[in-house]
Amino acid sequence: MKWLRELLQESPIKQQIIWLDCCHSGEFLDFSEANPQEIGKGRDRCFIAASREFEEAHPDLNSKYSVLTKLILDGLNPDQYDKNWVTTLSLSNYINEQIKQIKGNLQHPIFTNLGEPIPLTYKEKITLETPETPEISDICPYKGLRYFELEDHHFFFGRETLTKTLLGKISQKTFLAVLGASGSGKSSVIRAGVLYQLKQGLTLQGSADWEVKIMLPGNKPMETLALGFLDPNLSRIQRSQQLATAESLLKQGSDGLKRLIQTTNAPKVLLIIDQFEEIFTLCPDKAERERFINCLLGAVEKCNGKLKVIIAMRADFFGKCVEETYSGLSQQIEENLVSVTPMKQEELLRAITKPAKRVKLPIEPVLINEILKDIQDSPSNLSLLQDALTELWKQRDHQGLTLANYINLGRIAGSLNKRATDVYNRLTEAQQLTAKHIFLNLTQLGEGTEDTRRRVLKADLVTANHDQASIDEMVQLLADEKLIVTDRKTDNPETNSKTHPPTLPTLPTPNPTEIDVVHEALISHWELLRKWLDESREQLREERKIDDLAKEWRSQGYKNEYLLQGRRLKECRQKQQSLTLSTLALGFLDNSAKHQLRSRVQAVGLFLIIPLIGTVIVGYLGFREVQLNADKRFLRNCPEKTEYCPGRRDALERLAKAGKSLAYFNFENANLNNANLNNANLNNAKLYNAKLYNAKLYNANLNNANLENTYLNYADLYKANLENTKLENTKLEDANLNYVNLYNA
């Protein structure tokens, strides 16, 4: 193998075919010892083996050749194909199809093509260039700040050499680390470059049958990993059972992940972990981080090549990998590293001009020269290049992309900053405050690194100053302007907890929406956002500390042991007035205060059971009044027009039972099924589109209330007052309406 590697390396031949026709030759295709690994330097190489490592190679019964040689000779005949030429790829496809038709065949040839397909034979003189994809019109060929997806491969140019390098590495290795600066195109080359080639199955034999999973770690990487093994085609209940099994297995670490990998029928499982830096920026739990890394690296070692892992990470986070052992992560990265370096000028030229050619989009030559000159100062900011090209496409005319429009946009460096500022300046004053609140929450403050993106649930953006309606409106507006992205999550363990908090959210939001900035370039290049961050950095850090504690309380099923007490609670309460906290964080602090008061009342009761029973009763009544006031405050701050607001029903029932007025409260879209609201005063309350199946509203006062589109099936409205109430489209099947006052309803 060493001799062969040296021979291939020293050979002046740029296109090499290594063909081994003998028994057990599949063993040869573990060719890390034979392959010089220089693909991407003008070399193309094809390895062919006659059989898998456990198979013999046989003679052809109808000729003097072996089975493989006979098939190669037949396959080299260009008359076998519709196209004019035969390449190593078309030859391998021909052999694979023909060998399936040989009865009793016991050998399976293996091919690996690294680099471009190698031309072999021709019907006539033709061009060797692969025909381009049919031209597409009225489609923007650039991606703005979004990365290129698998389906965008026909517009993905400039990274062909890097794609070949990555394919060559992943064919031989089980772990690969792709590191580069923010904006260097890591996500795009993995998806539109490597993944597309693997799905085609032409470069690596059998890769079309690989099972590919792509994940972002998030704040709970082990749970995210478990979610990756769910079958989207199953029912919700079946997925829930599948998730429980996956989580149970992953608690066993790498052995459990190995068992999950072994259950698949695919020849290999490729796990791609994009934005790997999130294990440091979003996961606050060091133990969880270590479990995740140990699970990955351990399973890679134990799966005997069936599991391959690619991680993509910002290069400035490599230092974080070195700070702890992390199961040898830093060593694995160093030994299996592919750096995403800046594009060369000819590569940038392809990235600019080739997509435009696909859609017949003219570009002024002088514009191309100016863009190439500007991008030299920031070679890793491919996201800014794509954003500027996308904005130019929006302003295209019969001349296509012009220099005049490019200058007006602010060139490469100023285009994004100008666009984001223009969007912000068009907003009303109230909308600007909401937009600022959203962008600050979508930024993870750097700790020895640059600020980075921070994905959050839309529900966690709701505060006392920014209600659900204003958040919904602004998220939609910013998403339409391509400054943020939204993603509907399903089966999220954190937001689908079976346990509910005492006064906050009873039922979690189904399929919650997750928000993210469209690209980190927005954080680093929007001057206004940089100014906001500099002004509020310390305040944001204080808010994040409380927010992280509240999310931990939620993720642990709202258990009391995760609430604050004593000095920590006092400090947070003192800071509360000067901070902008989410509804979840406010509920966390309120529940912490209630739990602490309840604990103290119980402690006093135990210490002075008989002598101070009167004092205890007074203390209890005082505590009860504190709780009821907190319930009322919570309901006023609870996001309006939200179906699931944890704790809303419990708070309502306590207030109704205590005879507290709920007049003029807003419960639009609220889920209040089975609620006990007997005798409740809901005068002028807004209950539009609320769900009150089987609710108890005996003797309730709903005078002037809005019950349009409300579901009151099987509700008990005995003696309820519905005078002047709006009941358009209200569902009242099987409701108890005995003695109900419906005057003027």
> What are the tens digits of pLDDT across the range 148-161?
999 899 999 999 99
Q: Do the beta carbons of residue 421 and residue 528 sit within 8 Å?
A: yes
Closest among 93, 108, 87 to 17, alpha carbons compared: 87
Q: What is the pLDDT of residues 694-727, one digit of tens each?
A: 889 988 999 889 899 898 988 989 899 999 999 9
Closest among 626, 666, 675, 707 to 507, alpha carbons compared: 675
The SS3 of residue 561 is helix
390's tokens: 């996308």
Q: What DSSP letter does each residue of 19-34 carry, written as one string?
A: EE-STTGGGGG-GGGT
Q: What DSSP letter does each residue of 651-688 carry, written as one string?
A: HHHHHHHTT-B-TT-B-TT-B-TT-B-TT-B-TT-B-T
Running DSSP on this structure, what letter comes out for residue 147? P
Q: Identify the band that residue 505 occupies on the pLDDT scale cut at 50, 70 and 90.
A: very low
The SS3 of residue 676 is strand
β-bridge mates for residue 112, sequence order: 47, 204
Q: How far is CA 521 from the centre of its chain?
A: 18
Q: Which amino acid is at 481?
A: E
Q: What is the pLDDT of residue 595?
A: 81
The SS3 of residue 551 is helix
Top mean pLDDT of 276-280, 378-382, 639-643 is at 276-280
- Tokens 């009150």 belong to residue: 692
The rounded distance, in Å, linking the Cα atoms of 353 and 347 is 10
The rounded distance, in Å, linking the Cα atoms of 382 and 374 is 12
- Tokens 């064919």 belong to residue: 171
Q: What is the pLDDT of residue 396?
A: 87
Running DSSP on this structure, what letter comes out for residue 193? I
Q: What is the pLDDT of residue 642?
A: 53
Q: Do the beta carbons of residue 669 and residue 646 sit within 8 Å?
A: no
Torsion angles phi and psi, residue 114, rounded to 5: -110, 125
- Which has the higher per-residue pLDDT, 629 or 537? 537
The rounded distance, in Å, linking the Cα atoms of 609 and 615 is 10
Please list the alpha-helical segments (H only) found in 278-410.
Answer: 278-281, 286-302, 318-323, 329-335, 345-358, 365-375, 382-394, 403-409
Compute the C-alpha angle 216/217/223, nearest 5°: 115
Q: What is the pLDDT of residues 648-707, one digit of tens each?
A: 777 778 888 877 787 777 878 888 888 888 888 888 888 888 888 888 998 899 988 989
Q: What is the pLDDT of residue 249?
A: 92
Angstrom CA distances, 417 to 527, 593, 663, 699, 705, stand at: 7, 44, 47, 59, 48
The sheet carrying 484-488 orders its strands as 456-457, 513-517, 484-488
Strands (DSSP E) contained in 508-624 are 513-517
Instruction: Say yes or no to pLDDT of 639 above 60.
Output: no
Beta pairing class for 175-180 and 337-340: parallel
Q: Identify the band that residue 25 occupies on the pLDDT scale cut at 50, 70 and 90.
A: confident
Q: Tell me the mean pLDDT in the region 423-449.
A: 89
Instruction: Say yes or no to pLDDT of 351 above 90.
Output: yes
Q: Do the beta carbons of residue 623 and residue 601 sit within 8 Å?
A: yes
The rounded distance, in Å, linking the Cα atoms of 386 and 314 is 19
Query: What is the Cβ-side half-sphere exposure of residue 155, based on CA atoms within 13 angstroms?
Result: 25
Q: What is the pLDDT of residue 495?
A: 40
Q: What is the pLDDT of residue 531?
A: 92
Q: Identify the band that residue 131 occupies on the pLDDT scale cut at 50, 70 and 90.
A: very low
Q: Long-range contact list for 232-239, CB < 8 A, 24+ apart?
A: 236/491, 239/491
The rounded distance, in Å, linking the Cα atoms of 451 and 524 is 8
β-bridge mates for residue 517, sequence order: 484
Neighbours of 731 (CB within 10 A): 18
The answer to whether domain 159-340 has CATH 3.90.1150.10 is: no
Q: What is the pLDDT of residue 606?
A: 55
Q: Do the beta carbons of residue 170 and residue 194 sit within 8 Å?
A: yes
Q: What is the pLDDT of residue 251?
A: 92
Express as a percent the part of the chain with pLDDT over 70.
Answer: 86
**Low-confidence winner among 52-61, 219-228, 655-664 (lowest mean pLDDT):** 655-664
Beta pairing class for 15-20 and 85-87: unpaired
Specify the pTM.
0.60
Q: What is the pLDDT of residue 29?
A: 63
- Tokens 């009941």 belong to residue: 727
Closest among 381, 299, 395 to 340, alpha carbons compared: 381
Packed helices 382-394 and 365-375: angle between N→C axes, nearest 10 degrees: 150
Beta pairing class for 269-273 and 211-215: parallel
Instruction: Say yes or no to pLDDT of 417 above 90.
Output: no
**Low-confidence winner among 114-118, 218-222, 720-724 (lowest mean pLDDT):** 114-118
In this structure, what is the dihedral angle of CA atoms 479, 485, 489, 495, given to the nearest 10 degrees? Answer: -90
Running DSSP on this structure, what letter comes out for residue 190? I
In this structure, what is the dihedral angle of CA atoms 591, 594, 598, 599, given to the nearest 10 degrees? Answer: 60
